[in-house]
Amino acid sequence: MTGRAATLPILVSLGFCHLLNDLMQSLISALYPMLKQQFHLDFGQVGLITLAFMLTAAVLQPTIGAYTDRRPLPYSLAVGMGATLTGLVLLSIASNYAAVLLAAALVGTGSAVFHPEATRVARMASGGRYGFAQSVFQVGGNVGQAIGPLLAAFVVLPRGQGAIAWFSLAALLGMMVLARVGAWYKAQLRPVQRPALAGVAGAAIPQGRVVFFVFLLMLLVFSKNVYTASLTSYFMFFLIERFHLSVQAAQVQLFAFMAAIAVGTLIGGPISDRIGRRPMIWISILGALPFTLMLPYASLFWTTVLTIIIGLLMASAFPAILVYAHELLPGRIGLVSGMFFGFAFGLGGLGAAAMGRIADAHSISFVYQLCSFLPAIGLLVWFLPNLERNKPQRSARQ
């Protein structure tokens, strides 16, 4: 599998493995009600589970990305999936809260290894359609996150904690597919290991300004991830508390939100290829603000409608943000991907833990009233330059 003909199969393989990876990871948050009851946890401790997963990814992903920029590790993709497998098996037999935290940290380690290199391979296989490639890769993860709560509701909850171990079979399948992707990646390393910087938008921007723009992008992702983490971690509790839904009914509502995220991610990249990264980020982040402001006060029907709209809008931003950052720092694909998948997601985990403490002190409804203002950070897009405006014609491959 080499050359341009292999582009789509590689992207689909990466998207499929991203689906498996994030499906297994999403089981953790989908099982929060069961874990909360079984281990007698408060909301702050629930938030710490999210933090254990996200903080592990935050610490490791930029480090791994920076290392593989210099020394690519094609078969590390399969190794990362193995760490996720180990975390799932531990979670299925965990008998105390400390074991649950360790299992979450192992799943975070798998994410840390997988994402930087998979993002690099997706860019290599893009044929120059970087937004499209990132959408195909990322939508797999979003679909996995959407399916996870349903599998938790209809497979794990009726059978208990031990049923989590069945999902290790998905990890084994992912490891086999990623080993094949790793072989293709290894074959491509020599011709594209050192991309030329001539004509790349970010190469002409002074380093100090590049750092400032990356910082702004991190703030935008932070606002999106904290809001998304507040929904994935506490949305079921919000629905149960406010509308008196059953756990399974609440998980179906969470599935609707996660499905909207998947659709938003799939369409966001191709649209950004057409209209530009900066306009896409404007529309996605700031455009969600009116709907997040309405959500805490909506009826059950409108809560479903609003969360779908919010998921569509917010998710469509990330492919554009990531490609924009890649163009600011050409030749640092692993570092940039590690920062945005890892560090920014880790900040989202800190936000989720903080929201858990706030929920314990006040209420879940207050958390959503507070989070509703986060998309206002989208105003920072004003300070980002339009990289497409004066950029030379790109070649098919960088």
Q: Count of CB atoms within 10 A of residue 356's CB?
A: 27
Tokens of 74: 């094609």
**pLDDT single digits (tens) 243-286:** 988 887 887 888 888 788 888 888 888 888 888 888 999 888 88
CA-nearest of 284, 231, 221, 289 to 257 is 231
Specify whether the CB–CB gap between 254 and 304 falls below 8 A.
no
Which CA distances in Å does 299 have to 48, 180, 237, 246? 30, 48, 16, 17
Is the CB of residue 71 less than 8 Å from the CB of residue 362?
Answer: no
- What average pLDDT does this structure show over 13-32? 85
Here the tokens at position 157 are 């909850």
Of residues 344 and 387, more confidence is placed in 387
DSSP reduced 3-state for 387 = coil
CA 17 to CA 126: how far, in whole Å?
17
- DSSP secondary structure string for all residues of 154-218: IIIHHH-GGGGGGGHHHHHHHHHHHHHHHHHHHHHHHHHSS---TT-GGGGS-HHHHHHHHHHHH
Mean pLDDT value across the chain: 82
The 10 Å Cβ neighbour count of residue 240 is 16
What is d(CA 11, CA 394) in angstroms, rounded to the nearest whole number?
21
- 70: exposed, middle or buried (Cβ count in 10 Å: 0-12, 13-18, 19+): exposed
Contacts of 396 (CB under 8 A, 6+ apart): 127, 128
Q: What is the pLDDT of residue 202?
A: 53
- Check whether 396 has a pLDDT greater than 50: no
H and E: helices and strands count for the chain:
17, 0
- Cα distances (angstroms) measured from residue 69 to each of 129, 131, 324, 332: 21, 21, 18, 6
- Give the lowest-confidence range in 169-178, 244-253, 324-333, 388-397: 388-397
pLDDT greater than 70 at residue 302: yes
- CB burial of 312-347 (b: ≥16 within 10 Å; e: otherwise) equals bbbbbbbbbbbbbbbbbbbbbbbbbbbbbbbbbbbb
Q: Is the pLDDT of residue 397 over 50?
A: no
pLDDT at res. 395: 39
Band (pLDDT 50/70/90 cuts) for residue 158 is confident
* pLDDT tier for residue 179 given thresholds of 50, 70 and 90: very high
Is the pLDDT confidence value at 10 over 60? yes
pLDDT for the residue 37: 84
Contacts of 344 (CB under 8 A, 6+ apart): 58, 218, 221, 222, 225
Q: Which residue has the higher pLDDT, 309 or 354?
A: 309
Q: Could you give the percent of the chain with pLDDT greater than 90?
A: 15
If you average pLDDT over residues 129-134, what whole number do you get?
86
Q: What is the pLDDT of residues 340-374, one digit of tens each?
A: 877 666 676 677 778 888 888 888 888 888 888 98
The model's pTM is 0.72
pLDDT at 308 over 90: yes
Domains of the chain: 4-383 (1.20.1250.20)
pLDDT reported for residue 92: 85
Please compute the mean of the pLDDT values over residues 204-215 and round it to a whole number.
Answer: 85
Pairwise pLDDT comparison (55 vs 192), residue with the higher score? 55
Q: Which residue has the higher pLDDT, 4 or 70?
A: 70
CA proximity to 295, closest of 372, 377, 374, 378:
372
CA-based nearest residue to 375, from 287, 308, 312, 298: 287
Around Cβ 147, how many Cβ atoms within 10 Å? 21
Alpha-carbon span 91 to 101, nearest angstrom? 9
Report the alpha-carbon distance of residue 169 to residue 165 in Å, rounded. 8
Query: In this model, does residue 398 exceed pLDDT 90?
Result: no
